[in-house]
Amino acid sequence: MRIDIITVLPELLRSPFEASILKRAIDKGLVSIHMHNLRAFATNSYNQIDDYQFGGGAGMVMMIEPIDKCISKLKSERNYDEVIYMTPDGETLNQGIANQISLKENIIILCGHYKGVDQRVRDHFITREISVGDYVLSGGELAAAIVCDAVIRLIPGVLGNETSALTDSFQDDLLAPPIYTRPSEYKGWKVPDILLSGHTSKIEAWREAEAHKRTEKLRPDLLEE
Ligand code: ADE
């Protein structure tokens, strides 16, 4: 998978890809990340990429021309499955959306800033608009990092144990069951006996029941769908 990220702040997006699972995925050649500084596509001598909004009002708007130039250049080099715009008024990211995106080959992610982009960018270039939640960030970069993390860990071969992404919370609209590791007793707090029994099918049944219990208690909305 190839991810092209268009941003005015590439430095904000470096560290997530320089450690742990995302770095390993890149090193293994399972995904490649390409940053494009929008400023390099500015068309006037001030390197301007934003301007006042027509009709008045506070806040700057990202101009269409630099974004068009950047997206058009990328599209002239390969086909893209999605051009995603990170914005608080997009569809809220969930596991299903992450699963869908993980199946794509080439995607562009555009990070918004200031008040956002000129509406014509959204009308003519963007195929999908994603929010990471009902709150406003200073820019789309951290949101883009969240999308990349959620998506990349689903690409086959990225996680050591192939089954572990499938047993994540939300993969079957359930939260994950409680998990424990050694010691089996700490300050008198014991791990449930069933997990130490070695009885695989009983353990599976216990985990499923606990996942249901936890979901009913913490996220009953997931069970209604
Ligand atoms: N940009 C600013 N806030 C955002 C959010 N909540 N989700 C995605 N992009 C954003």
Helical (H) or strand (E) element with 32: strand 32-37
88: Cβ below 6 Å to ligand 1? yes
- Give the number of the atom of ligand 1 that is nearest the alpha carbon of residue 86: 9
Which parts of 96-211 are beta strand (E)?
A: 106-111, 128-131, 185-186, 189-190
Closest CA to 67 of 140, 126, 153, 14: 126
Instruction: Ligand 1 pocket test: pick from 132, 141, 142 the residue with the most ligand atoms within 8 Å of its Cβ.
Output: 132
Cα separation, 188 vs 150, whole angstroms: 37
Cα separation, 151 vs 67, whole angstroms: 24
Cα of 150 to ligand 1 centre, how many Å?
A: 15
Q: Is the pLDDT assigned to residue 162 strictly greater than 70?
A: no
Residue owning tokens 């353990």: 203
pLDDT attached to residue 169? 81
**22-36 mean pLDDT:** 97
Q: For the packed helices 20-27 and 141-152, what is the interaxial angle rounded to 10 degrees?
A: 70
Give 164's pLDDT tier (boundaries 50, 70, 90). Answer: confident
Tell me if 156 sits within 8 A of 150, measured CB to CB. Answer: no
Choose the weakest-confidence range: 80-94, 138-152, 155-169, 199-213. Answer: 155-169
pLDDT tens across 84-94, in order? 999 999 999 99
**163-169 mean pLDDT:** 77
Check residue 224 and give left, alpha or beta (phi > 0: left; psi -120 to 50: alpha).
Answer: alpha
Cα of 85 to ligand 1 centre, how many Å?
A: 9
Residue owning tokens 């270039």: 125
Tell me if 175 sits within 8 A of 219, measured CB to CB. Answer: yes
Give 167's pLDDT tier (boundaries 50, 70, 90). Answer: confident
Q: Is the pLDDT assigned to residue 173 strictly greater than 90?
A: no
Cα of 131 to ligand 1 centre, how many Å?
A: 5
**Which token pair is 150?**
């959620």
Give 25's pLDDT tier (boundaries 50, 70, 90). Answer: very high
Residue nearest to atom 5 of ligand 1 (CA): 88
Instruction: Ligand 1 pocket test: pick from 91, 117, 136, 147 the residue with the most ligand atoms within 8 Å of its Cβ.
Output: 136
- Give the number of the atom of ligand 1 that is nearest the alpha carbon of residue 136: 3
Q: Reduce the DSSP state of residue 51 to 3 states and report it.
A: strand
Q: Reduce the DSSP state of residue 39 to 3 states and report it.
A: helix
pLDDT attached to residue 45? 87
pLDDT attached to residue 163? 65
pLDDT attached to residue 170? 84
Mean pLDDT of the chain: 95
Which is higher by pLDDT, 40 or 167? 40
140: Cβ below 6 Å to ligand 1? yes
Cα separation, 195 vs 207, whole angstroms: 9
92: Cβ below 6 Å to ligand 1? no
Q: What is the pTM of this model?
A: 0.94
